[in-house]
Homo-oligomer: A and B are copies of this chain.
Amino acid sequence: MSEIPYKIYLSENEIPSAWYNVRADMKNKPAPLLNPGTGEPLKAEDLYPIFCEELSKQEMNNTDAYIDIPGEVLDFYKMYRPSPLVRAYCLEKALGTPAHIYYKFEGNNTSGSHKLNSAIAQAYYAKKQGLKGVTTETGAGQWGTALSMATAYFGLDCQVYMVKVSYEQKPFRREVMRTYGATVTPSPSMLTNVGRKINEQFPGTDGSLGCAISEAVEAATTQEGYRYVLGSVLNQVLLHQSVIGLETKAALDKVGVKADMIIGCAGGGSNLGGLISPFVGEMLRGENQYEIIAVEPASCPSFTRGSFVYDFCDTGRVCPLAKMYTLGSNFMPAPNHAGGLRYHGMSTILSQLYDEGYMKARSVKQTDVFAAAEQFARVEGILPAPESSHAIKVAIDEALKCKETGEAKNIVFGLTGTGYFDLVAYQKYNDGVMDDYIPTDEDIAASLAQCPKLG
């Protein structure tokens, strides 16, 4: 038998004491956020009315390679970290591949995903600034759940605007958030001006993520002692999520394994950016080479079919402009697309790295993703989230290529979370009624045509 255990655990004192900021090692920094009115680059202070001050500074920090993780955040991390790096012996055997497959499992906490890594940091800085609470939006519900846990821990109020159709179709997500003390409001609501206006214009609307963002931002800026927080896309989020990659690298180093290939699912980029950051750092510094693959849904293919331009971060066009791979801020993936990975754009950091060739991207069809999810669940025991299963699909594809070539590649992928709240989608797959939807070139061109003419 191999000496490498099924689960490679670090000890608690091997949790990283600092987050890694990959921007410090990037020769070409991500393009700055722009004021949507003036087109001028934003400064940290410009973000203070919306975000906590410390988080605004992290958002703009392109120079410090390491930022200390506060002790209180580290204490919370100890409740569920280090997360295991698992050697997928059973999957390898089932595939008959000579490849060695590893996955970093971030679903080992009640929120069920990696989102908690940034939620607890954002809640900590809100508490430190003396705020009463935070507001946010949630669609699929992973982020809202993580934030509720984090704010409960620090005794902060948490107001979640949940897209109305999700609020009604995912009552269990809603109930977990309530159990953690959050107020969950279906959006559009009658609590905000923007919500009332949309309800008036579109009576009986199901809501959208864009609308929920607008309501959460309004709620943050009109209540004393509140700020808005976000679970993906932002530089600060990728910074916090670097704990995933740092632990993965430490665990691989511990057993003397060099990754050949690193695979992660990509929606806004929070997981992928966190997972790959220390590895990309080595590439940027010329120390090492890795093959990195971002996997996105064929229904929302921002890397593989989008353009690298300045665009609005939200459908409502109230947020700053960011230069990113985007499908256009009006782009909406098909409603039958299950789970997250629905964002029209991609983290500016990842967009810059992709543009410079530091990673590849691949898009995969939904039914193929669920087939891979089920195959994985049956041999590895974990019921994966649909988001994570995008990475599983490509990891299996690559392991099967190794079977053909006889290569014993070390394949590492990010298993971002569990699928307990996605069983409606599993049911559709089990019943054989799950659709694959792929947008036409015309759909994407029409949406991209509405991007602002800048950059």
Taking beta carbons and an 8 Å cutoff, which residues of A are in contact with B?
5-7, 9, 11-12, 76, 78-80, 90, 108-110, 112, 149, 152-153, 171-172, 175-176, 178-181, 374, 377-383, 418, 420-421, 423, 426-427, 430
Partner of A380, one of B79, B90, B108, B176: B79
Q: Decide if A149 touches B381 in the complex (CB within 8 Å).
A: yes
Partner of A381, one of B110, B379, B430: B110
Q: Decide if B11 touches A153 in the complex (CB within 8 Å).
A: no
Assembly stoichiometry (copies): 2
Most buried by B among A152, A178, A179: A179
Complex Cα distance A426/B176, Å? 8
Known: A7-B78, A80-B381, A179-B383. 20 other contacts (CB 8 A): A5-B11, A5-B12, A5-B78, A6-B79, A109-B382, A110-B377, A110-B383, A112-B420, A152-B378, A171-B423, A172-B172, A172-B420, A175-B423, A175-B427, A176-B423, A178-B426, A178-B430, A179-B430, A180-B378, A181-B378
Chain B neighbourhood of A377, CB < 8 A = 110, 179-180
Q: Closest CB of chain B to A96's CB: distance in Å? A: 15
Complex Cα distance A426/B383, Å? 23
Closest partner residue, chain B, to A173 (CB atom): B423
Closest partner residue, chain B, to A88 (CB atom): B79
Chain B neighbourhood of A378, CB < 8 A = 149, 152-153, 180-181
Partner of A6, one of B12, B90, B171, B383: B12
Q: List 15 A-B contacts (CB under 8 A).
A: A9-B9, A79-B90, A79-B381, A80-B381, A112-B420, A149-B378, A152-B378, A153-B379, A175-B430, A176-B426, A178-B427, A178-B430, A179-B374, A179-B377, A420-B421
Most buried by B among A7, A176, A178, A381: A381
Q: Closest CB of chain B to A176's CB: distance in Å? A: 6
Closest partner residue, chain B, to A383 (CB atom): B110
Complex Cα distance A152/B90, Å? 12
Q: Decide if A423 touches B172 in the complex (CB within 8 Å).
A: yes
Q: Closest CB of chain B to A433's CB: distance in Å? A: 13
Q: Closest CB of chain B to A353's CB: distance in Å? A: 33
Q: What secondary structure prevails in chain A residues at the interface with B?
A: helix
Complex Cα distance A109/B383, Å? 9
Complex Cα distance A382/B153, Å? 12
Closest partner residue, chain B, to A429 (CB atom): B179
Partner of A171, one of B108, B110, B181, B427: B427
Chain B neighbourhood of A5, CB < 8 A = 11-12, 78
Complex Cα distance A180/B373, Å? 11
Most buried by B among A76, A383, A427: A383
Partner of A110, one of B178, B374, B382, B421: B382
Complex Cα distance A178/B370, Å? 13
Closest partner residue, chain B, to A116 (CB atom): B381
Partner of A383, one of B79, B176, B380, B381: B176
Q: Decide if B381 touches A175 in the complex (CB within 8 Å).
A: no
Complex Cα distance A76/B380, Å? 9
Chain B neighbourhood of A176, CB < 8 A = 383, 423, 426
Closest partner residue, chain B, to A82 (CB atom): B7
Complex Cα distance A149/B90, Å? 13
Complex Cα distance A128/B242, Å? 46
